[in-house]
A and B are shown apart, each in its own frame.
Chain A
Amino acid sequence: MLILECPYCGIHAEETELHAGGQAHIKRETVGADDAAFEAYLFTRANPRGVHLERWRHVNGCGKWFHAARSTTTLEVFGTYPAQTLTPPDDIRAAITAKHPDWSFEGWQGAT
């Protein structure tokens, strides 16, 4: 079972205590965006075979949203971090690149 540490309450929460919220760091388009930008915002999702950045909610706990860095091929968790950021913090990037030296946030599918 997937276990993630909630960055707010520090609890190592099992998957049943959490709710998966899909891709993190989506650029939310607004008035003035063209059709392609809106399509990307609403439907086109990063679906990497490897490192992924996701939103999770500690739904049966503190109720807050947070982000997790995880591998979709090994289910390894690199770390979790608060949602109030546009990019992953340095310690998360370091934890990922320790295992995947070629990885960069800028090269991740969701970083458009």
Chain B
Amino acid sequence: MKRYSAFAIAREAVRFHSGWERAWRSPTPKKKYKVIIVGAGGHGLATAYYLGKNHGITDVAIIEKGWLGGGNTGRNTTIIRSNYLQDPSAAIYEKARSLYETMSQDLNYNVMFSPRGVLMLAQTHHEVRGYQRTAYANALQGVKTEFIGPERVKEICPIMNIDGPRYPVLGGLFQARGGTARHDAVAWGYARACSDMGMDIIQQCEVTDVKRAGGQVTGVSTTKGDIDCEKLCIVVAGNSGHVAGLAGFRLPIESVALQALVSEPIKPCMDIVVMANTVHGYLSQSDKGEMVIGGGTDGYNNYTQRGSFQHVEETVRALVETFPMLSRLKMLRQWGGIVDVTGDRSPILSKTPLGNCFINCGWGTGGFKAIPGSGWAMAELVAKGHSPLTAEFGLDRFKEGRFIDESVAAGVAH
């Protein structure tokens, strides 16, 4: 792999850009791999990358039904933060956030991580108390956040109307080192690094069956033929229930649509990320100038990657009160992704009833921020059979009642 650098740009400029090589190979699958990862989204690719980098396992295939990073990795609003309430969540999300800080250098690929600050608005007294509690919890967890008053909110984000009348801003939970990153670049950067380590990324290859013998997985059947493996790792987000069904077990997960939309590009007006959970909306401005708006989920199961229109309307209607300038913007695009939601709104990184099969799912509405931490932890779980970061996120927590209850503290309305 040729490194990307300022020198490379200069070199290619003088030879008419004839020397750029493909970022990753598109090989035909081999008959057998040590590890097969189903799903080439951010989490799957990150798992593969850290399997190679941290554990020296490079005989890996990453199988993708569609195209690389074309699911929720390419559909989210790119927010990165780690201000969670519960200790296991804070540990894995803060690991992820800290890995984002050096990801561009690590991958030699510009993921445009922008730690511009994430502000979660408190617009009811209940939220004020909730976020003060989270700020105290974060202090104990070593995650730097602070609770700030309405004047400071107005200072950080001048376009905001903090006076209400329906939803006055009473304060906010501010994480200065939270921010955004280029979501496609995260998938592409990991894919390039994985391919460079000799891993095979096989796109447009759907898993149609999981072959089993004696309580173990022996391989998968795909649209490109049968492939054997020693270990299988399922990382398919919204389709987790379906693929788990192929493997013969069920999950405490339901798949629902989550929507987002962007406005026409405008001049820079907002240099932080704002999340307003009372009104189910979150907002940031992309580098292109578009206002990126995320909404709430639908209440019913859905696999169509499109959601109900009234959720878009509700989100925008509520945000317009807090951000009056949005009322004059035209919206350019609106889309949906299928998110896999668990009962306690925390993910599942776990062994399964099949001995050599692992699953990483349930990230629900907030998976992008966790990509590097999730990959780091999952790689350790697959390689060693245990990981301190995944210990609390097992499937058995539902049977045993050890929930990691983020349903109140998590970022968006579910």
Contact = CB atoms under 8 A, between A and B. Distances in A.
A44 B251 contact: yes
Q: Which of A47, A52, A54, A72 counts the most B-chain CB atoms under 10 A from its CB?
A: A47
Interface stretch (B92-100, B219-227, B294-302): B294-302
B166 to A, nearest CB: 19
Contacts, number: 64
B265 interface: no
Interface in A26-52: 35-36, 38-39, 42-45, 47-49, 52
B138 interface: no
B301 A47 contact: yes
Interface stretch (A5-13, A15-23, A89-97): A15-23
Nearest to B398: A43
B243 to A, nearest CB: 10
B343 A43 contact: yes
Contacts of B399: 35-36, 38-39
A74 interface: yes
Interface string B199-217: 0000000000000000000
Interface string B235-253: 0000101100100001111
A1 interface: yes
B28 interface: no
Given A20-B299, A36-B399, A47 B308 contact: no
B310 interface: yes
B310 A47 contact: no
Nearest to A14: B310
B162 to A, nearest CB: 30
B254 A45 contact: yes
A69 to B, nearest CB: 12
Contacts of A70: 300
A109 B242 CA distance: 11
A84 interface: no
Contacts of A52: 301
B343 A75 contact: no
Contact of B299 (A19, A42, A48): A19
Contacts of A54: 300-301
A75 B304 contact: yes
Interface of B: 239, 241-242, 245, 250-255, 298-304, 308-310, 343, 398-400
26 contacts: A1-B309, A2-B308, A39-B252, A39-B398, A39-B399, A43-B252, A43-B343, A43-B398, A45-B252, A45-B253, A47-B242, A47-B253, A48-B241, A48-B245, A49-B239, A49-B241, A52-B301, A54-B300, A54-B301, A72-B255, A72-B301, A72-B302, A72-B304, A73-B303, A73-B304, A75-B304
